[in-house]
Amino acid sequence: MFELYDMPLFRPPSEAHSLIIQATIGCSHNKCTFCGMYKMKKFRIKSVEEIKKEMEIFKKIYPKTRRIFLADGNALCMETDDLLEILRYARKLFPDLERVSAYATPMDILEKTEEELGKLAHEGLKLIYLGVESGDDQILEEIRKGVDSEKMVEAGRKAIESGMILSVTAITGLGGKDLSYKHAKNTAKALNRMKPQYTAFLTLMIVENTPLHLRLKKGEFRPLNQTEILQELRWVIEDLDYSTVFRANHASNYLPLKANLPEDRDRILKLIDHAMEHPEILRPEYMRAL
């Protein structure tokens, strides 16, 4: 089975039980300074026929598939007609299919019309994962995300208004010590405007041989310690004012948190305060992972 995949293969934690169909190889953007996920891959889009043949193989192994995740980094960059053909074929092959999901860059969303996105949602592409990373323009420029906060918000709103469920991720610690407060406050501000149904926070882990790692070695980036990470997350949660499923329970996080906001805000703020007073309860460095 694994010869069908160009490894390594990445997926969101919530897609652990989904069938992964590798529609693209790598990431079409692949410039983010903190990310090492696809640096070893040359980007390409598989042909529709290639993807169909792979789905037919998986049909024999997993005939009762209910969820499909389209890998790699941003399958939404494919031509809309090709994606529609793949979605329709997936529904034909897997009668129990409930939803298809994919990563997307903000540019992928902005380059499609609302009509195109609406058609994709109607044909089964129900959930889009968008890496917001930060709502601060200085940080977005430094990490080479490709858009500013205004365009990021526009992309998120466009996906939601087209009928898709939006799950976003941001990264605590991404601005280092110098930009921590700005990062927290401006990220909360952008998310409040976007109002994604799912909001997740990861904690920065600096990957070797990335541009951010080079900045660290030069002394140009000062990473946050555990307490500062928790304080930054606290600043964000204090300001979030929309209804969302909130998660900070990724393997990179020092303090796993699950909540529904705003109703659980006081509870998780108390958990953060307790952890800041008792850092011995936090996940140790050797247990953290991307």
Q: What is the pLDDT of residues 196-231, one digit of tens each?
A: 999 999 999 999 999 999 999 999 999 999 999 999
Q: What per-residue confidence (pLDDT) applies to 280?
A: 95
CA quadruple 149, 143, 272, 284: dihedral, nearest 10: 160
Which pLDDT does position 251 carry in this prediction? Answer: 94
Residues of the chain scoring pLDDT < 70: 1-2
Which pLDDT score is estimated for 6?
Answer: 86
Tell me what pLDDT residue 147 has: 98
Residue 194 one-letter amino acid: M
| Number of domains composing the chain | 1
Residue 290's pLDDT is: 86
Q: Are strands 258-261 and 99-104 parallel, antiparallel or unpaired?
A: unpaired
- The helix (run of H) or strand (run of E) holding residue 16 is none
CATH code, 169: 3.80.30.20
pLDDT at residue number 108: 97
pLDDT at 4: 78
Give residue-wise pLDDT tens across range 225-253. 999 999 999 999 999 999 999 999 999 99
In order, the DSSP letters of 125-191 are: EEEEEEEEE-S-HHHHHHTT-SS-HHHHHHHHHHHHHTT-EEEEEEEETTTTTTTHHHHHHHHHHHH
pTM: predicted TM-score of the whole model, two decimal places: 0.95
- Token pair 């610690």 is at which residue? 173
Ranges of H-type helices in 62-148: 80-93, 106-111, 114-122, 137-142
Q: 152, exposed or middle or buried, with CB in 10 Å at 0-12, 13-18, 19+?
A: buried
d(CA 144, CA 125): 27
Q: In terms of residue numbers, what domain contains 253?
A: 2-287
Residue of 96, 164, 103, 154 whose CA lies nearest to 131: 103
Q: To the nearest 10°, report the CA torsion of 114, 117, 123, 127.
A: -130
pLDDT, position 89: 98
